[in-house]
Amino acid sequence: MAFELPDLPYAHDALASKGMSAETLEYHHDLHHNAYVTNGNAAIKGTEWEGKSLEEIIKGTYDPKAVAQNGIFNNISQLWNHNQFWEMMGPGESKMPGELEKALTDSFGSVDEFKKQFSAAGAGQFGSGWAWLVKDSDSSLKVTKTENGVNPLCFNQTALLGCDVWEHSYYIDFRNKRPAYLENFLEKLVNWENVASRM
């Protein structure tokens, strides 16, 4: 079975009042995300990875020693990353569940300190990539950043929250102001119930 582009969990204009326009979602989901689906399916066709899960392909094709990852990894990992990204945001008011607030406070000292570290990771990622809140293999929470399409699965971590800092994610709405995009993401867009459900 070939991978398919999942529908957005909300309308294209559902996040517009929160700083992510319908135009951004049309480009980001309908074009960019769809390209990863199309190119990923083409890349694995006729290989040992055809018929495997996204997670199996990502873990099996990631090369920690490589400066640049291979085409199968790049497309399949970005397909997975974006599948998560849309679910990690939402149009409604999202209150952070108590267990997540406690876990963040225990790990970072406060929710504000977590947000500060997360924003710094995203703003400090040179070029394209992602900022993440992860649960590590020892169950501790950490803020990380990855280049291009690399994600927490490569390091046996659980992705709780990820923010795409490729320019196509924010340039229509924020131009080159990546820190403002990250602040808006954390304050207005995150579906904290979804984040908590991943713990």
Confirm if 12 and 22 have CB atoms less than 8 A apart: yes
82 is in an annotated binding site: yes
Residue corresponding to tokens 């939402």: 90
Ligand-binding annotation for 28, yes or no, is yes
* 41/1 Cα distance (integer angstroms): 9
Task: Tokens 């990539």: give the residue.
Answer: 129
Rounded distance, CA 193 to CA 188, Å? 13
Q: Does 164 count as an annotated binding residue?
A: yes
- 29 assigned to a ligand binding site: no
3-state percent helix, strand, coil for the chain, nearest multiple of 5: 55, 10, 35
Alpha-carbon distance of 18 to 167, in angstroms, equals 18
Could you list the residues known to form a binding site for Mn(2+), using ranges.
28, 82, 164, 168
Could you list the residues known to form a binding site, using ranges.
28, 82, 164, 168
